[in-house]
Amino acid sequence: MPAEIRLFRCLSDNYGVLLRDSETGATASIDAPEAGPIEAALKDTGWTLTDILVTHHHADHTQGIQALKDKYKCRVVAPEGEKGKIPAVDETVREGNTVKVGRLAADVLETPGHTLGHIAYWFHADKLAFVGDTLFSIGCGRVIEGTPEQMWNSLKKLRDLPDDTQIYCGHEYTLSNIKFALSVDKNNPALTARKAQALRQVEDGEPTIPVTIGEEKLANPFLRADLTELAVDIGMAGKPPADVFTEIRARKNKF
């Protein structure tokens, strides 16, 4: 497979990700939470940064951009809806656009909710999706700028990706997400199994991502708001899925 990936930690709980096209050597950083760890990963791999693909404007995803741009003269691609809030943008993209990293090609998916202009990058041929702070393993981002209904629709869009798509998200939140998920979906064997797996991964000092969409569909309550059993379990039988999602998200905020 021509796509190579390096995953590493930035700040307190952010993930940095480098994606490289092994045919051309083109290398993208997905977001830029912190320049130092990204530069260290580039040095370690011997890869040369050519692009930064930004998912949304929050500082913990963008504050490394300017330093990297100054050093590598890389191209900065950002969501059209947030261009004014992101430094050093060269190119803006929206739903349906294609972004290339060397010969690797991503479809841009607009996933509003966490922020209004949030986008994800789906490299369909490589079965990879970089989803920022929209979807986390066993969780989802806080609905800060959009409405819960927008967020639910964005999550459904990601849920519709092929089951074997590997998901890279912006933060390591899996264990705390699982703790919450068990409070709304405690009889789910896929969730219990995921807990055992994540505990092992964290104990071994390994990341709990990537995960596949297929795995998340079975265990992430925020992708399961339209399932009867989940609605029943939280006392919302017969309610519209967007309302069930809104309730689960509200509970998570208070958890």
Q: Which amino acids are annotated catalytic?
A: 56, 58, 60-61, 114, 133, 171
DSSP class per residue in 185-201: -TT-HHHHHHHHHHHHH
Note the helical H segments in the chain.
35-45, 59-62, 65-72, 148-159, 174-184, 189-203, 213-219, 228-233, 241-254
Rounded CA-CA distance 45/59 in Å is: 26
Rounded CA-CA distance 42/25 in Å is: 12
Helix (H, G, I), strand (E, B) or coil at 14: strand
Rounded CA-CA distance 104/4 in Å is: 11
Q: Which is nearer to Zn ion, 11 or 67 (CB)?
A: 11
Q: Shortest Cβ distance from residue 1 to Zn ion (Å)?
A: 29
Rule CB under 5 A: say whether 216 interacts with Zn ion.
no
Q: In this structure, what are the phi and psi dihedrals at residue 94, rounded to the nearest 5 degrees?
A: -140, 175
Residues of span 125-154 touching Zn ion by CB under 5 A: 133
Q: Which is nearer to Zn ion, 102 or 113 (CB)?
A: 113
Both structure tokens of 77? 């691609």
Residues of span 40-79 touching Zn ion by CB under 5 A: 58
Both structure tokens of 206? 């390994």
Q: Which is nearer to Zn ion, 58 or 69 (CB)?
A: 58
Residues of span 169-208 touching Zn ion by CB under 5 A: none
Rounded CA-CA distance 45/166 in Å is: 21
Q: Which is nearer to Zn ion, 10 or 191 (CB)?
A: 10
Burial of 241 (0-12, 13-18, 19+ CB in 10 A): middle
Q: Which is nearer to Zn ion, 47 or 136 (CB)?
A: 136
Q: Shortest Cβ distance from residue 241 to Zn ion (Å)?
A: 24
> Which stretches of the chain bind Zn ion, using CB under 5 A?
58, 133
